[in-house]
Chain A
């Protein structure tokens, strides 16, 4: 599903964020990406979302080198990935429903189809009945669930999460992780960047550890 082949990323100015990183994540796999702040986790995720392009090496998604696709195809590449962020990145002047519906509106789905899918996604993350609320009126854990619902509403084959439990207490974190496990169980490939090592270890999935831009440990 996802394959990094000798990927390096150097930012203008000389900072090398990733050094010769290679790994592969199979279709339907669930894996964690760990490491200290500044180890290159965010850069790695940005390469998958084509927010940045690698300086060397290939980033293969579905057997295609997405690091080299033309700019006009980048939006379509992003639609294959559901992304979740630590700061949720929600539209605060839109309702929960509109937030979750955004990917479907972008791809031009019909209204009744949008309604059906948004309800299903909100139901899955346990937010049914809150469609018309505004994100700001919900708790941090619930806001993160909105972000997750938005990421899965388009049924992407892969979910990327960047510190999804960063601001949550352990109990809520565990619930969010269970949610990811549920999606993984229905065949979605999941890659989660997190530094909450105790929680990850307890879950027992494969772990990729980055340190100063290098992949130092792979276990699982």
Chain B
């Protein structure tokens, strides 16, 4: 017997994208409408999400601010280039001039070995001992003040100076800058971990809220199933709920972080002015805010999807 073509089918042929969009738009706004009927519950969940996310977002922003601070303060410390002891003075002068012409250098001063010896003789008190030396043991030194705004180009400037044929040693006090950067690196790692953990927390918050919503709308789900709703039709409003929780939670988190920054900016600026720095805290860049909101929306959608699909697969068994 020939197999009869199934008369019950997903209506693919008369499927219209417009009907699909219509269903989506309807659910999109009706899920918002449901929140407006219970604004208190909605705001509670949104606030919990916002507070949870504002911790990693705030940490990350603080780290960004410290990174700019470390860049501003330290990078333009003097670098001392000790030339090899047999370098003729003319070479040293030529190198100084070429350094002065560089964009990354704001100042280069040559201290020739003779001048250095005189200075040493005057200030050290080893006048007699120095007089007994056959030749001048000091090298030519060039003091360079860089004009640089990030650690990477400072690194490359130092490398370049070290490569020079006449260079014996390049010295700069980068110790505490390196320590700060090391600390910031650890803080960045820790923030990543906190973000992952609290991201899970947001996922669970949304899941739990949606689970309660599923329970309170059990009858509605049963009835819509009875009149022929597909699982995706039933899921859609809950997915949109997750979307809105994530969206408003993320938005509020960004607001909280920026408000906090504004609140501590003026004491920070006055502290910085004591150090002759014009440093002031930066608010969250727009792109970062967009990324945080997108992250939060993603968590909201995933959180509700997990719960609803589990619930429906149990029903359909």
Give the residues in chain B near A49, CB-CB below 8 Å: 226
Give the residues in chain B near A106, CB-CB below 8 Å: 224, 227-230, 233
For the residues of A in contact with B, the DSSP-based class is mixed
Say yes or no: A102 contacts B227, CB within 8 Å.
yes
Give the residues in chain A near B189, CB-CB below 8 Å: none
For the residues of B in contact with A, the DSSP-based class is helix
How many residues on the A side are at the interface (Cβ–Cβ under 8 A)? 33
Asked if A80 is at the interface (CB within 8 A of a chain B CB), the reply is yes
Asked if A63 is at the interface (CB within 8 A of a chain B CB), the reply is yes
B247 to chain A, nearest CB (A): 24
Task: Count how many pairs of residues, one from A and one from B, have CB atoms less than 8 Å apart in the complex.
Answer: 79
B314 to chain A, nearest CB (A): 13
How many residues on the B side are at the interface (Cβ–Cβ under 8 A)? 27
Say yes or no: B6 contacts A64, CB within 8 Å.
yes
Asked if B1 is at the interface (CB within 8 A of a chain A CB), the reply is no
B224's partner among A64, A72, A102 (CB-CB below 8 A) is A102
Say yes or no: B7 contacts A64, CB within 8 Å.
yes
Asked if A103 is at the interface (CB within 8 A of a chain B CB), the reply is yes
Give the residues in chain A near B233, CB-CB below 8 Å: 75, 106
CA–CA, A71 and B8, complex, Å: 12
Give the residues in chain B near A102, CB-CB below 8 Å: 223-224, 227
Residue of chain B at shortest CB distance from A61:
B8
Say yes or no: B223 contacts A91, CB within 8 Å.
yes
Asked if B102 is at the interface (CB within 8 A of a chain A CB), the reply is no
Return the CB mask of A78-113 against B: 1 if under 8 Å, else 0. 111001000001110000000000110111111100
Asked if B22 is at the interface (CB within 8 A of a chain A CB), the reply is yes
Asked if B155 is at the interface (CB within 8 A of a chain A CB), the reply is no
Among B16, B26, B219, B230, the most chain A Cβ lie within 10 Å of the Cβ of B230
Say yes or no: A66 contacts B227, CB within 8 Å.
no
CA–CA, A105 and B224, complex, Å: 10
Asked if B19 is at the interface (CB within 8 A of a chain A CB), the reply is yes
Say yes or no: B228 contacts A78, CB within 8 Å.
yes
Interface residues of B (CB under 8 A from A): 4, 6-11, 16, 19-20, 22-23, 26, 219-220, 222-231, 233, 316
20 pairs from A and B in contact (CB 8 Å cutoff) = A51-B226, A62-B8, A63-B7, A64-B7, A71-B316, A72-B230, A75-B225, A75-B229, A76-B8, A76-B230, A78-B228, A89-B222, A90-B223, A103-B227, A103-B228, A105-B23, A106-B229, A106-B233, A150-B227, A154-B227
